[in-house]
Structure 1
Amino acid sequence: MVSYKNSPYQNIVVTQEEEEINVFLDGVPYITLPEPDIAEVELISHVPMLIAEDPREVLMIGGLGGPLREVMRHPSVKRVDYVEIDPYLIATVKEGAKDLVSSELSSRLLSIHLTDGRAFVKSTHNRYDCVILCLSEPSTIERNRYFTEEFFLSVRHVLKEGGVFAFLLPGSLSYYTEELKGVNGTIYASLVSAFPSSMIVPFHKNLFLARKGAPLDALPALLVSRLKERGLETRFLSPSELGYLFEQKRQNWVKETITSRRFTNNRDSLPISFLYWLSYLNLSTSPKFRWLFQAARGARPFHLFTGLCALLLPLFFLRRTAGRALCFSLATTGLSSFVSQAILIFSFQTVFGSIYSEIGALFATSLGGMAVASILVTLIMKRSTFYLALFLSSELGLSLFGVCLSLFLPLSGGRASFHALLFISGGFAGMEFPLATGLYRRDRIGKRVAPLYASDLLGGFLGALFSFFLLPALGFKQSLLFLSATKAASAFLILLSRQDINRK
């Protein structure tokens, strides 16, 4: 390891073995220097540019260290907008391949935009002949937002008629596991929703191509012809290689493989491709847990509601006690609060991109809401004996909070709105614990607090598991509605147990 640094946006690690330099972003391989993978570079840069009839204006999200250079070799290019949010990454790559990167960045054709790629696409008034996405697979929620139906529709909006959009995803030339099939299948389904004219070029990294308002046909002969017309010398994309890449038999095979089942579209509020990617990584690290990811991907709201009913029935038919009702209530509050905050943080990432330098402030806001609510409720309890009414109000408030959040998905707005929602979510969690301790066993302090606190922690633990495994599969809206139903059931159980609670 020759370099380890944290920028405001990500962790950047540089390793070197002899002459080879590798750059990792948040642990994910980004580029090999001083000579990047020439096959990938030429595939992602030249193929979409050759499909475009007369590419003059190009948008590249990522692509430093090879793709930029290749795109600017096309003689018709007049302007390339290069979008990269992290200046530290540019400096790091420049250190590893000074000649290559310096020539790219010094070109008069290049305009550098140090901003979030998705925000740039949404705000720009320019229209492009080509949009090339040079980012890694959906390994995080932040990266997944570049492979959703919403982003593809935004790209379509900034493309000129006949414009081409391209990106790479991990693929295979022989066999697709269910997980790899899911990564490609969910993203391809989303791409087709935005671009009816779409295709996949099979390679060890599949090239996804989409075109606005024009078909993608007769490509091998067209690409070879334009390659010669533009006088481009390539090391990988020879006429024979182009013929092989676009061979109809291989095209049919990869399309049939990936579309052999109907996949859910990858969306901002349903990041299913992210879950498939985690499942795919799990195969190489802990394959014995494959069943767990398969179960998570197959989860549906019906399964969760069935499980909730199975859990509630004994509580309803056994003798209802204050302890059981309050412990169940705090467990569901821990679950609901954790998952709703995870949804808010994931939505924040979707809107603003990097969360690397802001996660501390977001958590602090949530904890601040918890602290303020706890203090206020404690003060109110000194002046009031209506503990049960306050507790039921907090239960129903948390249930309604989830319903309201689900109605406004996907969330948008400024940073202040997300902080306000996190403060409110934390507040609901903070107000219940002191109320529960006031309702349950007013004598014997230790015995009343221990089971309640344990229930709250158990709910938070289940919330963490839910957020990791089930949230990407169910989506934000269905998850919030399930949690709202859980809190409504919890409030109903408290109401049925009110006589036992009042005796305490």
Structure 2
Amino acid sequence: MKHLIYCAVLLMGFSGITAEILLIRELLSVFSGNELSIAMVLANWLLFEAAGCLLAGIKKEGTGKSIRNFVLLTFLFCSSLLATIPLIRIVKNIMGIAIGESMGLYAMFVTSFLILMPAGMLHGALFTLSCRLLSHFHNEKKNLGGRVYGLEILGTIAGGVVCTWLLIPWGHTLKTVSFIFLFNMAVCLALVLLMYKKDSSCRKTAFWITPVFCCLIWLIFSGQIQRIHEISIQAQWQPHRLEVCRNSPYGSLCVLENKGQYLFFQDGVPVLITPIPDIPFVEKLAHLPLLAHPSPSHIMILGGGAGGLITEILKHPGVKSIDYTELDPMLFELLDIFSTPLTQAELKRPEVRIHAADGRLFLASSDTFYDLVFTGVSEPGTLQTNRYFTKEFFTLAQRRLKPEGILVLTLPGSMGYQNRELKDLGSSIFHTLGEVFPFIRVLPGDGKKIFLASPSADILELNAEKALKVLEERGMGAMQALPWHIEQPLHEGWANWFQHFVKDASTKINEDFRPVGMFYSIAYWNSLYAPDFGRFYGKLEHIRMDGIILFLLPLLLASGLHMAFSPRKIRSFIPLAVFSTGTCAMLFTLILIFAFQSVYGYIFSWIGLLIAFFMAGSALAVPVAEKWMKSIPQTFSLFYKTEIALAGLLCLLPLFIKGVQFLVNQAEMTGAANLLFLLLALSCGFITGIQFPLANRLYLEEKNDESRTAALFYGSDLLGGWLGGMAGGVLLLPVLGLYATCMVMLTLKLGLFLTALFLKFFYLPWR
């Protein structure tokens, strides 16, 4: 029986991490690929797990009732997870949000909060019930919380690896969830049958769980789950007709048809329109930079080239080659399936070389020098897109440009009104470009403005007269009469337009690990769709590292004084330390996820692996801690040493991340950089995970209640993780950046370390 309970706990951990990864996948598509939603999902999931864990620890019950309640909660958890997937897909329709329209952060928070509540609370309650259930069948009563914690982590590790390499490529989300449901019910049925003759509550449970198990088998193998999937995914894209929706390691790709137009969506964001694109904008985007260059021949397009841009570029007779990159190779497959005369002509031209690769990494490894580099990303609204608007990318692009080369990028904007958030966004990117390029020109437009940056002053000399002369020299007779939408931005009245509009706006530099461009972009969209919250969120940019540290210092001092005079010093200190370590654990996870996305641009295929390695470190910490624990003073000594180890990690992590980024930019070292990310995750997991069993042992000496102690520390750990996700992932990392966020947490951990040091020398010797 004991070993079957071990299997149930392992499966519980497997189901939890798989649920998180699948829910992140579904919600990313609804939230337009915004990685801050990852922080929200992880944080809210932890919050509800903590609530469920604490609530389940209130009441004790006997062996039979423990099995019955465990089985019932497992059934409810899997059922709620199965119902959540279709609900996520239609949530935009419920809220009245149009397809392709971004959701504000407030709407994202509320949506994820409400949707994750049932499954999260039920999964958290299962941890406490697992401890209680194991206590009925285990001879060793000490540290069962740490044992269950370690088993759950092992299941989490397996779930992260299997979900990444097997479940996601194998089938759609509903299919995966259905099989997880089936496996959980199989284990629960085995638990009930083993106790069938010994307990009446188990006999009653067997009467309803057996038909549930049979019903699941019928739903899966009769094709009903597949039917539900097709209905829900079609409802997600109403009123458009969904042609196909596929998942890949890089995200979700959907093709919609509307009145003969094909719309290609990647993680809910429109990336291509065929066969008739926005012709005025595409012509302006292609021809204005090409006319500003004296002799363009080698072109790089980093995404968004198909559907018109390549066609317009090739109208210039001097163009000899175009390197065109798209991150997801499946996009090229779908372009081939839903081909049009326009895309066929573009992609089969001999001058065009297609590369299924991340554009930034391809540019870093290329040995070609380009005349023009087009970034096909419209704004830095996510970490994946922000990496094309940072000082690091501009430096890379400048190195790959010829002396008269031009970098071309676009941002939202209009020729008239611009609100404060839009000004800050444009000004931040303008000043970031100015850190690298001596000459910058901004061309206005309704909807989007075009930025040209170059080592040469040629871009400043382009006007309507010069454009016509270049057209004549190149023999482009079809455009001898310059279209108005191309001539208008060249009017001399717009020369100083941008500098005027961004006067007194933000001058902050956008960087890979301080993505203020993403912050301003999110603030802009929040100001449009949630004005009140948008104004509040926009003011958060004024938060400073030193201000937060000055706020923390008196709190730490008051907390230290309270513990110094408290008769239950360890019972006051340990939960607070575990809470702060939970905050660090979540921040470490998000730092690794965000850093990986900023460096590579395809975090989706690595979320499961990074979390799995983080949990592997935590799992490794459990037996190590149990081996080291021999006496209370020694255990407390180890505990406060973990505090200083965490402080050291907070100091070194930014340096490690920078080092990994350097290796990535060396083409031959990319594999080593991948391995280092996984090793960093393993190390962070070990240092944060080792505190849980230590805390459990120390607290049990004060209060011998295994299940409640486990619930207290598991809940404290998860609540700290929620704070780390919401405050750290949504606010500190985007605004303060990687280094300052680590320094804020370093202040907190050093304060707790000093408190632990005080307790060691002035309290423990007297016990």
Query: TM-score, with normalisation over the residues of structure 1?
Result: 0.94
Q: Secondary structure at the match of 1:332?
A: helix
Q: Which residue of 2 aligns with 1:350?
A: 598
Q: Which residue of 1 aligns with 2:457?
A: 214
Q: Which residue of 2 aligns with 1:252?
A: 496
1:332-371 equivalences under 5 Å are 332-371=580-619
Q: Which residue of 2 aligns with 1:403?
A: 651
Decide whether the 8 Å contact of 1:387 with 1:435 is kept in 2.
yes
CA-to-aligned-CA distance 1:86-108 (integer Å, 9 cap, x gap): 22112223444421111111111
- Cα deviation for residue 240 of structure 1 reads 4.0
Is 1:278 the counterpart of 2:522 in the alignment?
Answer: yes
1:159–1:87 distance in 2 versus 1, CA, 3 Å: same
Decide whether the 8 Å contact of 2:370 with 2:402 is kept in 1.
yes
CA-to-aligned-CA distance 1:203-257 (integer Å, 9 cap, x gap): 1201000112334323112222212332336689935443321223334232222
Q: Which amino acid aligns with 2:755?
A: L
1:194 to 418, 436, 441: 436
Q: Which amino acid aligns with 1:496?
A: F
Q: Secondary structure at the match of 1:15?
A: strand
1:434 to 668, 675, 693: 693
- Cα deviation for residue 168 of structure 1 reads 1.3
- Cα deviation for residue 290 of structure 1 reads 2.0
CA-to-aligned-CA distance 1:298-326 (integer Å, 9 cap, x gap): 21102211221232132122224222221
- Give me the whole-angstrom Cα distance separating, in 1, the residues matched to 2:248 and 2:480: 35
- Give me the whole-angstrom Cα distance separating, in 2, the residues matched to 1:411 and 1:175: 43
- Cα deviation for residue 269 of structure 1 reads 1.2
- Cα deviation for residue 500 of structure 1 reads 4.5
1:383–1:331 distance in 2 versus 1, CA, 3 Å: closer
- Give me the whole-angstrom Cα distance separating, in 2, the residues matched to 1:91 and 1:316: 61
Q: Which residue of 1 aligns with 2:57?
A: none
1:387-398 equivalences under 5 Å are 387-398=635-646
Q: Secondary structure at the match of 1:194?
A: coil
Is 1:75 the counterpart of 2:317 in the alignment?
Answer: yes
1:152-301 equivalences under 5 Å are 152-203=394-445, 204-220=447-463, 221-232=465-476, 238-301=482-545
Give unmatched runs, 5+ long, in structure 2. 1-241, 664-672
Q: Which moved more, 1:371-380 or 1:201-210?
A: 371-380
Q: Which residue of 1 aligns with 2:676?
A: 417
- Give me the whole-angstrom Cα distance separating, in 2, the residues matched to 1:492 and 1:335: 18
Q: Secondary structure at the match of 1:410?
A: helix
1:88-127 equivalences under 5 Å are 88-127=330-369
2:716 to 455, 464, 474: 455
- Give me the whole-angstrom Cα distance separating, in 2, the residues matched to 1:233 and 1:401: 64
Larger Rg: 2
Q: Which residue of 1 aligns with 2:285?
A: 44
- Cα deviation for residue 294 of structure 1 reads 2.3
- Give me the whole-angstrom Cα distance separating, in 2, the residues matched to 1:234 and 1:486: 66
1:124-143 equivalences under 5 Å are 124-143=366-385
Q: Secondary structure at the match of 1:497?
A: helix
1:447–1:134 distance in 2 versus 1, CA, 3 Å: closer
Q: Which residue of 1 aligns with 2:756?
A: 494
- Give me the whole-angstrom Cα distance separating, in 1, the residues matched to 2:548 and 2:572: 21
- Give me the whole-angstrom Cα distance separating, in 1, the residues matched to 2:678 and 2:746: 21
Is 1:58 the counterpart of 2:299 in the alignment?
Answer: yes
- Aligned-residue Cα RMSD (Å) equals 2.1
Decide whether the 8 Å contact of 1:322 with 1:501 is kept in 2.
no
CA-to-aligned-CA distance 1:107-135 (integer Å, 9 cap, x gap): 11112222211111111111111111112
Which structure has more helix as a fraction of its residues? Answer: 2
Q: Which amino acid aligns with 1:472?
A: P
- Give me the whole-angstrom Cα distance separating, in 1, the residues matched to 2:525 and 2:390: 20
Q: Secondary structure at the match of 2:265?
A: strand
- Cα deviation for residue 191 of structure 1 reads 1.0
CA-to-aligned-CA distance 1:45-81 (integer Å, 9 cap, x gap): 1111111101111111121111111111210111111
Decide whether the 8 Å contact of 1:169 with 1:207 is kept in 2.
yes
1:283–1:14 distance in 2 versus 1, CA, 3 Å: farther
Q: Which residue of 1 aligns with 2:560?
A: 316
Q: Which amino acid aligns with 1:356?
A: F
Q: Secondary structure at the match of 1:216?
A: helix
Is 1:25 the counterpart of 2:284 in the alignment?
Answer: no
Q: Which amino acid aligns with 1:10?
A: G
1:481 to 743, 748, 754: 743
1:146 to 371, 388, 393: 388
Decide whether the 8 Å contact of 2:556 with 2:748 is kept in 1.
no
1:3-22 equivalences under 5 Å are 3-22=244-263
Query: TM-score, with normalisation over the residues of structure 2?
Result: 0.63
1:134–1:235 distance in 2 versus 1, CA, 3 Å: farther
